[in-house]
Amino acid sequence: MKNTQPKKLAFYGGTFGRLIPLLTALLFILLAAISESDVSGYSVAFFAAVAAGCLFAKDRSAYGEAAIAGLARPMFGTVAVAILFAAVDGKLVAASGLIDSLAFLLVKARVSGAAFCAVSFLLCCLLSMSTGTSVGTYVVSMPLLFPLGILVGADPLFLIGAVVSGGLFGDNLAPVSDTTIASASTQGADMGDVVKSRCFYSLPVAAACFIAYFFLGGSSNRASVSTDLSFRPLSLVMLAVPVVIIVLCLKKMHLIAALSWGIAAGLFAGLATGLYVPGDLLSYPGGFRVEGLVPEAIEGTSSTIFMLIGAFLFLGIVEGSGLIDFLSRAISRLPRGRRSAELIIALSVGSLGAITGVCTVSMIALGDIVCKIGTQHGVPRCRRANLMDCGGLCLTSLAPWTVHAVYPVTLAMSSVPGLNLSPVQVVTHNFYGIFMVILILFAILTGYGYREEVKDSPVSK
């Protein structure tokens, strides 16, 4: 049987050649961040990295196979298709008049934009704790909460930050989250002990986020955006879309399947009540054109899909080049004591998560090294798991090219036409990520949480 595993990549120039894709990506990412580029700027960074690395690869065929292996990762298909389906769900909801109707009711009830922002954070915390996924929380929440919040006077940047922060809360703490499972299992820590000790980090940060969004989340433009609202009672049937998606996600149905049922519910509700006619959804007017809400929604996701293709091609090169193994060996030689070991654990997992765009990958790749470093320097198992997840996940979420920045921007701009946001703006308003990094640094310096963590788990694996 033919071996389908890509060959180990070798580069001209040795270690320097191996680092060329990473250095190229970092250069273009820095340029995109400084210029406050949209998603397309980050797409260029990853495609340029893949192209530059090929110039130094000794075996170009193996290099191509490694890149394609990145696209073969299940997460790529899940995220790409979820973006497409979520855009269609959001377009069905937005074009029905539901957002205006709900905003009309909230304005009449005198709900402030700041209060809406804070409540949106809590709702996303509850959803992410139930599902264990930040990406799924963005998919479900953004198409409804974001345009609705804008109309009642919430600041767009703080609102998108509230949704992202709420998604990260459950991704960080929920026992069903892939990052919680990866951090606990790689360190041999009991899941119950990890979740209990992690509350000392997640809950204070969540409380600080709620207060910040409540006081900062209002917009000065509320009066101008809420004067033209109208109430269409029939549009309330389109609440079936988010309700169906949320219920199915809570029942642990796959995200793609839940979004598909959401589209089906939206189509049925819209057509059955006369909110839509078939031509509104899809039509072929001739002249090599296709029109309607569905193709409009799909076209709006193209830049994000291109960026994902580049990012996962880049991830395949990073893994195939042995760069992760190289970094692991370098990391293991750095610690000089417990505090430096803890700092290196958090920084290494977060940095590799930022490079790959997927924190779970970095946790699994560095799990054995983290365990070795922690055991040598007296870091308990639960504390190692918490440093990996709290520090690593939140550092990853602060990289503007990851799904925690690019995905929410795409969903926001597709739900509010004419809005122009950059991934960097999402990062600067992601208070959960920012506050958690500050708390982790405080914990490393002062030993905060250590007593509980060492009580819950011994040092060795």
Which pLDDT tens digit goes with each residue over 277-286?
Answer: 989 898 998 8
The model's pTM is 0.77
The average pLDDT across 348-368 equals 80
Residue 3: pLDDT over 50: no
Q: pLDDT at position 213, please?
A: 95
Q: pLDDT at position 1, please?
A: 39
- 207 vs 401, more confident: 207
Residue 80: pLDDT over 50: yes
Residue 62: pLDDT over 50: yes
Q: pLDDT at position 152, please?
A: 85
Residue ranges making up the domain that contains 144 = 75-299
**In the numeric block, which tokens belong to residue 45?**
């960074």
Specify the range with the lowest mean pLDDT, choosing from 250-259, 344-353, 431-440: 250-259
Residue at 238 is within a domain: yes
- 7 vs 293, more confident: 293
Q: pLDDT at position 229, please?
A: 64
Q: pLDDT at position 458, please?
A: 58
The average pLDDT across 396-405 equals 88
Q: pLDDT at position 7, please?
A: 58
Closest residue by Cα to residue 232 from 100, 356, 113: 100
Residue 231: pLDDT over 50: yes
Residue at 181 is within a domain: yes
Question: What is the per-residue pLDDT across 305-330, written as a single tens digit (0 to 9) for each?
Answer: 888 888 889 888 988 888 777 777 77
Highest mean pLDDT among 165-169, 296-300, 369-373, 456-460: 165-169
Residue at 112 is within a domain: yes
Highest mean pLDDT among 162-171, 299-308, 317-326, 444-453: 162-171
Q: pLDDT at position 324, please?
A: 74
Residue 225: pLDDT over 60: no
Residue at 61 is within a domain: no
Residue at 213 is within a domain: yes
At residue 2 the predicted structure's pLDDT band, cuts being 50, 70 and 90, is: very low
Residue at 234 is within a domain: yes
Q: pLDDT at position 4, please?
A: 46
The average pLDDT across 116-138 equals 85
- 165 vs 378, more confident: 165
What total of structural domains would you count in the chain? Answer: 1
Residue at 163 is within a domain: yes
Specify the range with the lowest mean pLDDT, choosing from 63-72, 135-144, 395-404, 447-456: 447-456
Is the distance from CB of 406 to CB of 307 less than 8 angstroms? yes
Residue at 362 is within a domain: no
